Structure 1
């Protein structure tokens, strides 16, 4: 028979809430298996007769028999006719072969990771809020998305493609979607794209990871904006690159610092249309100077055009890729901001010589993007629905930006000053009171308001304290409630 402690262990497994969805025989089987693996039941030890154990546990004999049968099938116990059931004599279960408690890795110990693995873990990754609250940045309005239209287009795809959409897709992406993307960026962004140069990905973050690992070796230098988008910085840090921060002014990246740097870098990362987080636009003369630098030094320009669709003052400047005759620019775009985050479709327009290497590398990450979503999106673009949706959202977002700027000026002027951007989905503010950035962000968090501190985005650590306020996903009424709540909380904190 089991000792009392062993029997109590099995009973505890039966009663544990985490096992509630598991059949009784499986719970008994796992409890006994754990006793064997822990060495509590040593090799050759007899198990209770099934009838006796069933009586002790208050279950049927068939339940215990089913547990014993599974343990026997897995090799944990031997069953001998006329003698009973015994713990198997396998050497793996013997006390001498079990890892000592001192040598075992406990749950509280840090795992031994590679240098790159440690860098990824220490960066914290890039985590998005599952249920965003004001003023989470980079979140588009999704409540007004034309779901019925999308559903109709998806049904058309299913009707025409049938079970073909259930199979693996082209790693480079659906040709229909690649053609639609190329046509769109050529028309709207002044790009130089063809379908065979487009690579469909799950996100712009995946594109950044591919660029970091495929274009540069560990310890090689890359110029980045300062402040910079944290997802890019973390992708470059995780790849072991040496990031070199370059400052900004009202005309964008200080390109002369790149040109005058005696130490060469292999690439430069920039967000020229709406710099993240300042919102400034890189001027034409600086774009041309960067293109010349890349051509002269055989460097790469990684252009992240993450939300260029939303420009509220005049026409957006043509993308750098469309100005580059030397094919040294990698253009990254995404539908996460322009449509909805759950779509998980981004893209990159590549120089011809990079298409095959990047596509091969992509197969090692996730193989391909879902064909159903790609084909539905292609129809959405080709039918003019994407352009119509962007135009409608542009008007809504412009109104919400104006509302937020006015409310900040009215209710938060004692604490911060708004820097109204000409586009994008978020507005930066600089702190003008005596509170630290951390105090402001923490105070906001306590009342359910989400702010992103600006100083963490400065690689050089000398940025003016401030915060970023996303406005796109929130109605004017929601924005007003959140601003008033934040103002009250800050007044209370300063008192």
Structure 2
């Protein structure tokens, strides 16, 4: 017979809301199986008679019989005519008789990861939220996206291609989308793209990981901006690369530092249109110098053009890839910022010699991107809807940036100095008062506001303390509410510090 604690354990497992979708006999079977696997019921131990267990659980005998029959079929129990049911003596599986001290200790230790796994995991908390909090950086507005139009285009695709949209897709990406991307990059970004040089991916993060692992070996050196986008640094660290930080000033990455390096460096990572997180635009003479450096050293330029669509003052500068006649630049783009994160479509424009190797490498990672959203996006772009949407959102985001800048100057002037960006979806703010960056970010989180600290984005010493404030996903009214919350939170912790 079960001990009282074992019977209560079965009852609790059966009644748990998470198991409510299972048939009752399956819940009983799973609960008893767990007792056996955990070692609470050892080999040879008798089980209660089906009639007695049914009475204890308040179920029919047939339900318990069905549970016992399944346990017997799976080899967990033996059923002996005239004697009853017993836990099987399984030679291939020895149940754990409760966790040993050693097992319990091991379970609470850090996972035994590879060096690459440890690099991926270290400091890699989940940053994205299902519903972004106010000022979460990089989050676009999604509530105004033309869903009805998107649904209509998706229905058109399904009507025309039918079940083909549900099958495996071209690992390089659907031809209509690759053509649309090439046309867009050439027209809007001054690129040198053709459809056969475009590789459709799930994200810019995947593109950076592919570049790191396909083009460089562990121990190879790569120049990276300082401060830099955390996702890029994580991708390069995880690939075992040696990242050489290069300072960023108001004209972008300091090219003289790159030119002066005497060691072999195989690549440089850039966000030239709108440097993350400073917002600086890489000057033309520096772009040309980097192109010549890459050609001379047979190095790669990895250009992340993550939010170039949103430039609020004049025309954005042409991409580096469009200026590079030597085909040493890999151009990375994404629709995560320009449309919506759930789309999960990014892309790279590759030098011709990298198209096949990069396509094969992505195939090994995840096969291909889903055809249906690709074909729908192609229709969205071909019909002029993408350009119209981006132009409309550019005006919306510019207004929100200005609202945020005014409110920060009005309510947070004792604590921060805003750096109003000429583009992008977030505004850097430098701390000027006595609050530390950590205290400010923690206070904001308690108030329901998400800030990304600037210090962690630096590799070099003496980083400027501050944070990024994403403004794109909040209406002006929401921005005002959040800024007032932030001001109250900062004032409260400042008062505590002065006591």
TM range (shorter): over 0.9
Match of 1:59 in 2: 59
| Aligned-residue offset at 1:47 | 2.7
Match of 1:146 in 2: 146
| Aligned-residue offset at 1:7 | 3.3
Cα 1:301–1:16 change in 2 (3 A) is: same
| Aligned-residue offset at 1:464 | 1.2
CA distance in 1, matches of 2:30, 2:165: 40
Match of 1:130 in 2: 130
Match of 1:244 in 2: 244
Match of 1:104 in 2: 103
CA distance in 2, matches of 1:434, 1:319: 40
| Aligned-residue offset at 1:346 | 0.5
| Aligned-residue offset at 1:452 | 1.2
Cα 1:39–1:396 change in 2 (3 A) is: closer
Runs of 4+ more than 4 Å apart? 97-100
**C-alpha deviations, 1:76-127, integer Å up to 9, x for none?**
12223444323223213457x9797244365423221111111111131552
Instruction: Determine if the alignment matches structure 1 residue 474 to structure 2 residue 474.
Output: yes
Gaps of 5+ in 2: none
| Aligned-residue offset at 1:24 | 2.2
| Aligned-residue offset at 1:17 | 4.2
| Aligned-residue offset at 1:416 | 1.2
Match of 1:306 in 2: 306
Cα 1:485–1:324 change in 2 (3 A) is: same
Aligned positions, number: 494
SS in 2 for 1:407: helix
**C-alpha deviations, 1:283-316, integer Å up to 9, x for none?**
1111111111111111110000000011111111
| Aligned-residue offset at 1:228 | 0.3
Match of 2:216 in 1: 216
CA distance in 2, matches of 1:438, 1:322: 41
Superposed, 1:310-349 pairs within 5 Å as: 310-349=310-349
**C-alpha deviations, 1:224-270, integer Å up to 9, x for none?**
00000111111111111111100011111001101111112111001
SS in 1 for 2:164: helix
Residue pair 2:220, 2:241 contacting (<8 A) in 1 also: yes
- Normalised to the residue count of structure 2, the TM-score between the two structures is 0.95
Cα 1:228–1:170 change in 2 (3 A) is: same
Match of 1:448 in 2: 448
Cα 1:71–1:430 change in 2 (3 A) is: same
Instruction: Determine if the alignment matches structure 1 residue 176 to structure 2 residue 160.
Output: no
| Aligned-residue offset at 1:178 | 0.3
Give the alignment's Cα RMSD to 1 decimal.
1.8
Cα 1:38–1:424 change in 2 (3 A) is: closer
Cα 1:93–1:418 change in 2 (3 A) is: closer
Superposed, 1:188-207 pairs within 5 Å as: 188-207=188-207
| Aligned-residue offset at 1:6 | 3.6
- Normalised to the residue count of structure 1, the TM-score between the two structures is 0.96
Q: Which moved more, 1:420-429 or 1:272-281?
A: 420-429
Match of 2:44 in 1: 44
Residue pair 1:409, 1:418 contacting (<8 A) in 2 also: yes
Gaps of 5+ in 1: none
SS in 2 for 1:288: helix
Cα 1:126–1:19 change in 2 (3 A) is: closer
| Aligned-residue offset at 1:58 | 2.2
CA distance in 2, matches of 1:136, 1:153: 31
Superposed, 1:249-268 pairs within 5 Å as: 249-268=249-268
Q: Which moved more, 1:82-91 or 1:450-459?
A: 82-91
